[in-house]
Amino acid sequence: MSKINIAIDGPAGAGKSTIAKLLAKELSYTYIDTGAMYRALTYLLIKKDLPLTDENLVLETLRNDYDFSFEGEKIILNGEDITNLIRSNEINANVSTIVAYKKMRELMVEKQRELSNKKGVVMDGRDIGSVVLKDAELKIFLVASLEERARRRFLENKEKGIETTYEEVEENLKKRDYIDTYVSKALVKTKDAIEVDTTNMSIKEVVARIKDLATTRNR
């Protein structure tokens, strides 16, 4: 069967990365986490002690100093394994400062497209179906209620030993929804995207549903 590209968009905490990773594994596709690419740029700027508020400098840093790759499960930037480093509270708190910069996004989108030109990619983010992979054969818009997303994140944090209250997690998700919708305006559901509401679904059910849809698209 020929390979297709699958775009998975949706708000924070809807389960995109968990689902995309499992789906890619089952289909023997490559998983591309575009959020990690914005996180890596944020990490680099902080490491270089550069102001995230200087839009031109952010663009120049991406253009000249950003050598990013996915190596299996690892995320590598300029030869350094930053897989865990980009999930820190500092990155969480700062990444939203840069995500609205238009020219930076355009260059990032070019890099994301390069990673998908051989097909057989499951790419997750906010603007994959609307901008990055407009021609993706399958576009999924993953949603879940705010309460359910907060509940999942809260339990995830607890497992990782990160101390937060449910209320803090919910507040943080609301903030991120606002940024995605009104500041970066990246979160867009296209007309041809299939919405999958995961509020009352198990991970297994969601993966099976999308796999079914993928199978009908690549005949």
User: Would you tell me which residues interact with ligand DC (CB under 6 A)?
Assistant: 12, 34-35, 38-39, 95-96, 99, 125-127, 179-180, 184, 186
Cβ neighbours around 1 below 10 Å, total: 8
Provide, rounded to whole angstroms, the least separation between the CB of residue 27 and ligand DC: 21
Provide, rounded to whole angstroms, the least separation between the CB of residue 39 and ligand DC: 5
Spatial distance between the Cα atoms of 102 and 90, rounded to a whole number of angstroms: 23
Which is it for the CA torsion 64, 40, 117, 133, positive or negative?
negative
Q: CA-based angle 172:112:135, to the nearest 5?
A: 100
Closest-CB residue for ligand DC? Answer: 35
Please, what's the largest Cα pairwise distance for the chain?
50
Side-chain half-sphere exposure of 190, counting CA atoms within 13 A:
21
Provide, rounded to whole angstroms, the least separation between the CB of residue 186 and ligand DC: 4
Pick 203 or 215: Cβ nearer ligand DC: 203
Q: What is the CA radius of gyration of the chain?
A: 17
3-state SS assignment for residue 164: coil
Closest CA to 126 of 45, 27, 16: 16
Provide, rounded to whole angstroms, the least separation between the CB of residue 176 and ligand DC: 6
Residue with token string 């968009």: 9
Tell me the two tokens of residue 102: 């238009």
Pick 39 or 139: Cβ nearer ligand DC: 39
Provide, rounded to whole angstroms, the least separation between the CB of residue 88 and ligand DC: 12
Provide, rounded to whole angstroms, the least separation between the CB of residue 102 and ligand DC: 12
Pick 29 or 101: Cβ nearer ligand DC: 101
Pick 4 or 186: Cβ nearer ligand DC: 186
Pick 170 or 180: Cβ nearer ligand DC: 180
Pick 34 or 198: Cβ nearer ligand DC: 34
